[in-house]
Copies of this chain bind each other. A is one copy, B any other.
Amino acid sequence: MNPTLSPPPTAPVASAAPAAPAAPAVTPAQLGVGARFSLHPMTSDFVDVILGALAAGDASRLEVTTDDVSTFVRGDEADVLTYLRDVIGAAASGGVHVVAQVLLSRGCPGEVACELPDDVVLHPVELPALAPTGLRASAHWALYPLDDGGPDPHGGARTADHMAGIYAAIERARERGTLTRGEHFVTRLDGDLADVLATVADGWLLVGREVRHVTTHATISLGSPGAPPPAGTTGAATSGTAHEDAR
């Protein structure tokens, strides 16, 4: 047992039923949760737009480090997502064409060593609803469950199935109304910036319930002169079907 883990909660003594095995709690930092993103405002004024946008997010509960290529964000999932929505939204609010690249990552091995015990619960994280921004976004989205399989409860080894998580996440996007269609190598999402970000995070967290190391990438475009006209209703965006090869 990793000594930095919180002690498992004690089962209530009044319970007549046998207690479920106690699951140690893990923090986002122990799971290496975080984001890396870059903002690309297509204007000669890009430095001011980027600096103004970065100042528009609430980083008080986050670790944020910007270098010349991208910005790293560490914190819990809801704070990271809210920050991304506010910063990307601020960059696009002036009407300039902005593309944001977003990478979300969690898990081990990779960012952090796998020092967590095998039976640690990859606790389900439910994101609070992200308030809409009024900004329409189009995204190309990829999701990567980096599942190595593992020991089989019946002895031997378990093979992984990385496509199963991808399909489940696409189904979630369909339910949310942001799924447009599968494209080569990516899935296209359209909708309010907040809904697009929530879709990306939802799929990532859904896979994260089963797989320790999961990343997701999205290219999110706002204010593009080449964007298709917005659909009249949110529902219209769901009429596309995902290709079987979508992810």
Chain A residues near B (Cβ < 8 Å):
32, 34, 36, 38, 40-47, 67-70, 72, 74, 97, 99, 101, 103, 105, 109-113, 138-140, 142, 144-150, 152, 156-163, 166, 183-186, 188, 213, 215, 217, 219, 221, 224-228, 244-245, 247
Contact = CB atoms under 8 A, between A and B. Distances in A.
Given A148-B147, A149-B159, A219 B72 contact: no
Nearest to A36: B185
B185 A103 contact: yes
Nearest to A46: B42
A224 B68 contact: yes
B149 A149 contact: yes
A43 B49 CA distance: 12
Oligomeric state, in copies: 2
Nearest to A105: B185
B139 A148 contact: no
Given A144-B215, A148-B149, A148-B162, A69 B221 contact: yes
A138 B69 contact: yes
B219 A70 contact: yes
A159 B163 contact: no
A33 B149 CA distance: 25
A101 B103 contact: no
Contacts of A221: 68-69
Contact of A144 (B43, B138, B144, B219): B144
A42 B110 CA distance: 32
Contact of A226 (B36, B68, B219, B226): B68
Given A70-B140, A156-B157, A185 B40 contact: no
A188 B149 CA distance: 29
B43 A44 contact: yes
A196 to B, nearest CB: 11
Contacts of A226: 67-68
A89 B177 CA distance: 38
Contacts of A97: 46
A32 B183 CA distance: 13
B160 A147 contact: yes
